[in-house]
A and B are shown apart, each in its own frame.
Chain A
């Protein structure tokens, strides 16, 4: 069997594919796994396991070919065709495109494979997903709770995410580099203080203040400022400022192999949302992430257990990827005080995770601190440290499990695993609030059940109204009041609201009507699943009392 995994995104996104790659290797031990990535990130290849052969998309050269008047008109066109021919000569059984953009979709549409998962286009230009999970990723509303990309990749490939998460291997080159560069350095933390996206950056002056406060508590620690060659000059300024304050620091320029080996030896990593953050997730080193700008921790947070995410409560965050910050000041960055970062680093270093609650309480107006966790239900999850005894937590856990069961079509199986899912959630709830045995989770469960029952009644009304519109004879007027009522009811539902924002109900073509009907059914099934899970958890709590 030959499997081609296509990931034409950036470095961090490629690292986030590793749980799926590992799952594929376990599931198909005899398969040859091929990986197509942008040439720019080929430096990652020695770190990736479970891949038998790499192929490269020469994105930079293709773009140069398109933009330069000194290159033949059809050079880039020919380059794409060459790549497709090279891949088609291999004869793939399965293609998994984790890149959710149109460029990769057109490309994957002409790579032959018996089975395709992920976005491609049909001969009529219609989007095809090959998996409910990728369809969900494409249709989701930004307000909706999100699954982590690594989870979606795994579930879409029909693999249950394993507890080991991100997986990278160290190399002899990287290990030799780390041994040489870290000779004589005992305790150190790694700081990744720059990202390629300005919106995700925290000012170096703030890093300096935070590290100064941290060093006051931990004078024996060396601050290792990790740098790509292009970043070294900027970080040198930070290093010199720290040195003037008698803080032990160093700028360390290294490649990705060196970075992994250095991080592995460190006591802690402080990072922005960068590729290095994801590389660090492959180690057991504690990680503190500053989540700024367009960074959305729900989708791309550190995919490991017990990483700490600090994000601002700026109403504009996370902002869209493609546009620059529209505010006069970088609000999300300004809202994170250096004291918070320094205190968090200190607590994480001494394993004082419970104290993060105190920091959160003191700075609750401006920031939110979350701790990541790989749940027994198979998902990654980042829980705010102050919401561990909150109905919100129950709702989120049930919501995710319900979505999973819906996307896996568990509700259509003769023997659904609702009781098992309920058992997992009950266990998670109890673990997340240790020492709170007296707390009765049945109270928020009852509240949630009431809300869902109410929503279900409204959905019944939606179905009646929708039928009126969808099966209306052509050229007959639809009452304005019917559409308004339907829109009002749907606006409450995260499942359908996203579609409504782009299409007017009365102007839907047949395909959209069909999809619309499916979405209404999804919403209905989702509430049914939620009720079954809630009842299962409640029964188990009652039995245990």
Chain B
């Protein structure tokens, strides 16, 4: 049995199967995509970029494009074969979706689209198909894109000068207890000196007032 195959759904759409498991609804993938996108609307809430983990059969991406036409949509897929099959054979319109194919963190972190996307606000969505195709990779990718561990934080701080100015990453590394960072308030600040306090510091202080 091939890893990827295509079948027709009851609604007449071409959908993908991975190792015999459907990557979208066999009955009505469009309706399923609509419900899924509806459930994500709070997480998206006006983000200029949406990063989606898992290509699935692509219907959820096409639906996202319809409902959030002004957003940049980046889909991350770890399986080359899924990406190729989607482009060649499915009926979902993915012409305006940026697809990043990467099967390890280094490939993901070095991708130009990802490096650019993390410089501003984005929403991170996980499509259920990613649990089927490559659970391990997507778990890592999620942790990375949520910036919840030291490695990914280093990446973010390197990409964004304003973060480097505010947060003291070296102090964080030195604190061996902090393997996982749960919240922005756990990040140590650079020592403040007169003339070096920036707008980013002020934005951070405003946030901290909401945590108190």
Contacts and interface: CB of A to CB of B under 8 A. Distances in A.
B124 interface: yes
B145 A80 contact: no
B147 A72 contact: yes
A contact face: mostly helix, strand, loop, or mixed: helix
Contacts of B120: 78, 82
A158 to B, nearest CB: 26
B148 interface: yes
A83 B207 CA distance: 13
Given A71-B124, A72-B146, A80 B203 contact: yes
B202 A110 contact: yes
Interface in A34-87: 58-59, 61-64, 66-67, 69-82, 84
A103 B209 contact: yes
Interface string B173-187: 000000001111100
B45 A58 contact: yes
Nearest to A78: B121
B121 A102 contact: no
Interface string A118-150: 000101110000000000000000000000000
B156 interface: yes
B205 A106 contact: yes
A107 interface: yes
A100 interface: no
Most chain A CB inside 10 Å of its own CB: which residue of B156, B181, B199: B199
A520 B121 CA distance: 50
Contact of B210 (A63, A124, A125): A63
B171 interface: no
Query: For this complex, into which size category does the number of interface residues on chain B fall?
Result: 35 or more
Given A61-B45, A123-B197, A124-B194, A69 B182 contact: yes
A66 B182 CA distance: 10
Contacts of A69: 146, 148, 182
B69 to A, nearest CB: 19
B206 interface: yes
A212 B63 CA distance: 57
Contacts of A76: 184, 207, 210
B121 A75 contact: yes
Interface in B39-98: 42-43, 45-47
A109 interface: yes
A58 B194 CA distance: 31
Interface string A391-428: 00000000000000000000000000000000000000
Nearest to A79: B121
A121 B160 CA distance: 25
Contacts of A109: 202
A82 B202 contact: no
A61 B163 CA distance: 21
Most chain A CB inside 10 Å of its own CB: which residue of B43, B46, B120: B43
A74 B209 contact: no
Contacts of A84: 199, 203
B203 A106 contact: yes
B122 A66 contact: no
B194 A74 contact: no
A62 B147 contact: no
B137 interface: no
B145 A81 contact: no
22 contacts: A58-B46, A62-B210, A66-B185, A69-B146, A70-B43, A71-B123, A72-B122, A73-B156, A73-B181, A74-B121, A74-B156, A76-B184, A81-B200, A81-B203, A106-B202, A106-B205, A107-B202, A110-B202, A123-B194, A123-B195, A123-B197, A124-B197
Interface of B: 42-43, 45-47, 120-124, 145-148, 153, 156, 160, 163, 181-185, 194-195, 197, 199-200, 202-207, 209-211
Rank and list the top 3 A-B pairs by shortest CB-CB distance, nearest first.
Answer: A78-B121, A103-B209, A73-B147
